[in-house]
Amino acid sequence: MDVLDARWFRLLTKLAVFAAALGTWQLLTTTGALPTDSFPTMVGTMTELGRQLGSSDLWLAVGQTLRGWALGLLIGGSLAIATGTLLGLNRFAYRSVIPVIEFLKTVPVIAILPLAVVVFGPTPEMKIFLVAFGVFWPLTIQAIYGARAVDPVIRDTATVMQVRGVRRFAMVTLPSAAPFLATGVRVAAAVGLILAVIAELIGGSAGLGLSVLTAENAGPSQLPAMYSFIIVTGILGVVVTAVFTAIERRLLHWHESQRNAASRAA
């Protein structure tokens, strides 16, 4: 089986599994194995999903979710990369601060949601803050590891050749840290989207999460709408992960990890 045939086989296998899952859903709901007051039929949900895709309300909710997610990721990610890189390059600062970072990294983000709601209210700022807080700590750790991962031979060579300042950062530190940062940003993007939806679902900020909650509170007649919003949220997560994975592969095509991944995929 050549490479092209193998790719088509994997694609058809995924489609078959997806179709089987949809068929099972329809079968379980039509036969009564799943209660209809909690689980709408697959056909009814997909019909409602098609209707929602043609409405402006859905796309407005998607835009609100993406806006809060993107701003939170940008703010939290930028601060994390800058902070982690500086800490990784300074041994004294690293040893002084790392216990605090390790502790705060373990604090569940959902635990500070009530505080964020009290301070900001059910606003986009609350959602942005929650996303930024959630992505900051793990991405800071990744940035620290990346900055400290410089090969000693390369570091010593740069010192001997008197490569300093911005040039040293661009030619020595950044290439070594890039795989750590790329992985951290990709994971942070997915986590940030989850946090944005949680902020909407629990905190009341406008977006897909609030749409799910509103449809749930509207009663059994709106269950297909609720499930359609959930499906859109899942699709959004898949798209975000795929986009950041593609960007990582494109930017790090020179790195050994990406070459090995490409060889395994082939």
| Structural domain includes residue 195 | yes
Output the pLDDT for position 240. 93
Range of the domain at 68: 58-265
Assigned domain for 35 exists: no
Q: Let me know the angle formed at the C-alpha of 245 by 248 and 251, rounded to the nearest 5 degrees.
A: 15
Do residues 196 and 72 lie in contact, with contact meaning Cβ atoms separated by under 8 Å? yes
Residue with tokens 């970072």: 101
Looking at residue 2, its pLDDT comes to 59
Question: What is the Cα–Cα distance from 184 to 179, expressed in whole angstroms?
Answer: 8
CA dihedral 214, 218, 222, 226 (to 10 degrees): 20
Cα R_g (the chain), whole angstroms? 23
Distance, in Å, from the CA atom of 249 to the CA atom of 242, rounded to the nearest integer, reads 11
- Residue 259 within any structural domain of the chain: yes
For position 161, what pLDDT does the model report?
76
Rounded Cα gap, residues 94 and 144, in angstroms:
8
Count: domains in the chain:
1
Cα(246)–Cα(239) distance, rounded to whole angstroms?
10
In a domain, 244, yes or no: yes
Decide if 50 is inside a domain.
no
CA distance 142 to 153: 22
DSSP 8-state assignment for residue 54: T
User: What is the rounded distance in angstroms from the CA atom of residue 147 to the CA atom of residue 139?
Assistant: 12
Say if 1 falls within a structural domain. Answer: no
Q: Is residue 123 included in any domain, yes or no?
A: yes
Q: Does a structural domain hold residue 9?
A: no
Whole-angstrom distance, CA of residue 67 vs CA of residue 124: 9
Nearest of 66, 103, 83 to residue 189 by alpha carbon: 66
- The region, left, alpha or beta by phi > 0 then psi within -120 to 50, assigned to residue 181 is alpha
Residue 167 in tokens: 């040039």
- Looking at residue 172, the DSSP 8-state letter turns out to be I
Report the C-alpha gap between 28 and 26 in whole angstroms: 6
pLDDT in tens, 79-136: 998 898 888 888 888 888 888 888 888 888 888 888 888 889 889 999 999 999 999 9
pLDDT given for residue 145 in this prediction: 86
| Residues 224 and 40: beta-carbon distance below 8 Å | yes
Domain CATH number, residue 108: 1.10.3720.10
Ranges of the chain with pLDDT below 70: 1-5, 253-266
- C-alpha span between 244 and 250 (Å, rounded): 10
